[in-house]
Amino acid sequence: MTTIAAATARLVDIEVETPRTDAVQAFLKQETLFVQLDTADGLTGYGYSYTIGTGGRAVLSMLNEHLLPKLLGADARNVEALWFELFASTRATTTGAITSLALAAIDTALWDLKAKRANEPLWQAAGGFRRAVPLYDTEGGWLHLSTDDLVREALASQARGWPGVKIKVGKPRAAEDLARLRAVREAVGPDMDLMVDANQSLTISEARRRAALFEPLDLSWFEEPMPADDVEGHALLAAGTSIPIAVGESMYSIAQFRSYLSRQAASIVQVDVARVGGITPWLKVAHLAEANNVTVCPHFLMELHVSLVAATPAGGYVEHIPQLRAVTSSEMAIRDGQAIAPTTPGLGINWNLNALDNRTVA
C-alpha cells in the first residue's frame, strides 16, 4: 500500500559553518524543518526546509497542527493532488513564507518517496537533463570580509577549477564596493564569472548608480538589488543596464516569478525550493523560465538544488554554501568545477539521524 501511515515533523538547529553577513542581515543558524513520511508498504521519505534564524517554530506549528494530519491515509504517489489540497487548506495564510516553508518540507519528502519508489535519483525523476552542473562560490564573498580576503578566496576557487564566485555588495559608499570588486576582477582575470549580490538593500536610484559603476567589470549578474516586491523597479533597472538582473530567493509563489518574467525584470531566476513551497512548484518555475529563455540559478540548498538544476534544460549554476555537513554522512560531489548530482534513489541526501536527534529542539 502506498498510503501514508505516519507523518511527523521536528525542528533541528544546525550551526552555521562560517560567519555569513550581507548588507541587511547575518546568518546566525539554520532552523531546519525536518519531515518524515512513512508509507504502509514500508518506504520512508525525508523532506526539509529552513529559516536562517527566526520563524522555525511557527512553521513547525503549521505542520503539526494543520498540514501533517491531512496526509494520513493519503496516497503518497499523488504529489500534485496533495500539494494542491494542502495549499488550498491554507488560504488564509497564502502566499507567504510560513505556509511555503511548511509545504516545502512535506513536498520534498513526497518527492523522496516518489523517486525511491521508482528506484531513481531525483535528478532523473524530475526530468533527467544532465548530471553535472557548474558551481560558483559564495562562502568567500561575504560583506564583512576584507578586500584581501575576497581576493584570496576568489583565487582559491579559481585554483580549484570553479568557474564563478559571488561577492556581496551594499557597503555604505559605492566606491568601496567598486574597489573590492575591481580587486577581485583584476586578480582572477576576465575568464572567471563574477556575480554580485545586494540582498535587497538599495533604492532604484542607488541601484542604477552602482550598476553603472559595475558595468566595466563584466559581471555575470546583479542579484536582488532592490526589495523583492519591487517588480517595476527591477524592470526599469534591467532595461537600463547591460548587467543581467537576478531575483527569486525571496519569492514564495509561481505567480511572483511570472510577474517578473512578463515585465522582463530579470534574466536570472534564483528560485529557492524551500521558499517557493517545494519541488513541485520549483519545477513549474523552472519550466516557466525555460519558456521565457531565462536561466535558473537557485539560491542556497546546494545539496538539494544540484539535482533540480540537473533535471531541467533551464538550469545554470549551483551556489556553493555547504550547510548540512553536521547532519549528513556524505557531501555533494564536486569534480572539475562541476557539482555532480547524486545517483542514489530519492533526494540523494544521506541523513545522519543520530546527529539530527542531537540537534532537535522541538
Q: Residue 139: pLDDT above 90? A: yes
Residue 19, domain CATH: 3.30.390.10
The answer to the question of residue 86 being in a domain is yes
Are 78 and 151 contained in the same domain?
no
| Residues in contact with 302: Cβ distance below 8 Å, sequence separation at least 6, in sequence order | 318, 319, 320, 321, 322, 332, 339
Distance (Å) of CA 105 to CA 60, 123, 202, 221, 289: 10, 18, 32, 30, 23
pLDDT tens column, 42-52: 999 999 999 99
Flag whether 345 is in a domain: no
Mean predicted confidence (pLDDT) in 199-204? 97
* Residue 252 covered by a domain: yes
Selected catalytic residue, list 116, 166, 299, 320: 299
Burial per residue of 179-193, b for 16 or more beta-carbon CB atoms within 10 angstroms, e otherwise = ebbebbbeebeeebb
CB 280 within 8 A of CB 122: no
Question: Is residue 92 pLDDT above 90, yes or no?
Answer: no
Q: Are residues 14 and 155 in the same domain?
A: no
Residues 219 and 271 in one domain: yes
Domain count along the chain: 2
The pLDDT value given to residue 21: 87
Tell me the pLDDT tens digit for each residue of 335-350: 999 999 999 999 999 9
Residues 164 and 278 occupy one common structural domain: yes
Q: Do 205 and 316 lie in a common domain? A: yes
Cell match 515533523: residue? 9
Average pLDDT, the chain: 96
Q: Which residue has the cell 510577474?
A: 259
pLDDT of res. 299: 97
Length of the chain: 362
User: Both 49 and 152 in a single domain?
Assistant: no
**pLDDT tens for each residue of 156-182:** 999 999 999 999 999 999 999 999 999
Is residue 168 annotated as a catalytic residue, yes or no?
A: yes
Task: State the Cα–Cα distance between residues 347 and 290, nearest whole angstrom.
Answer: 23
Extended beta strands in 41-192, E state? 44-51, 132-137, 164-168
Residues 224, 89 share a domain: no
> Rounded to 10 degrees, what is the CA torsion of 20, 24, 30, 35?
-140
Residues 111 and 154 in one domain: no
Cell numbers given for 134: 557548474
3-state secondary structure of 292: coil
Q: Do 110 and 184 fall into the same domain?
A: no
> What is the rounded (10 degree) CA torsion for 57, 42, 349, 26?
0
- Per-residue pLDDT of 205-237, as tens digits, reads 999 999 999 999 999 999 999 999 999 999 999
Q: Is the pLDDT of residue 40 over 90?
A: yes
**Residue 203 placed within a domain:** yes
In this structure, are residues 327 and 356 in contact, taking their beta carbons and an 8 Å threshold?
yes
Q: How confident is the model at residue 5 (pLDDT cuts 50, 70, 90)?
A: very high
> Is 142 within the bounds of a domain?
yes
Rounded Cα gap, residues 355 and 82, in angstroms: 30
> In sequence order, what are the beta bridge partners of 339?
133, 334
Q: Are 35 and 62 in contact (CB under 8 A)?
A: no
CATH number at residue 157: 3.20.20.120
Whether residue 266 contacts residue 295, with contact meaning beta carbons closer than 8 Å, is answered with no
CB atoms within 10 A of CB 340: 17
Element (H, E) at 157: helix 147-159
| Domain of 242, in residue numbers | 124-340
Whether 348 is covered by a domain: the verdict is no
Shared domain for 302 and 153, answered yes or no, is yes
**C-alpha to C-alpha distances, 59 to 74, 100, 280, 334, nearest whole angstrom:** 22, 9, 19, 32
**Catalytic residue check, 29:** no
Exactly one of 114, 168, 234, 320 is catalytic; which is it? 168
Any domain includes 292: yes
Residue 347 lies inside a defined structural domain of this protein: no
Residue 29: pLDDT above 90? no
Considering the domain architecture, whether residues 105 and 133 belong to the same structural domain is answered as no
- 8 plus 98 within the same structural domain: yes
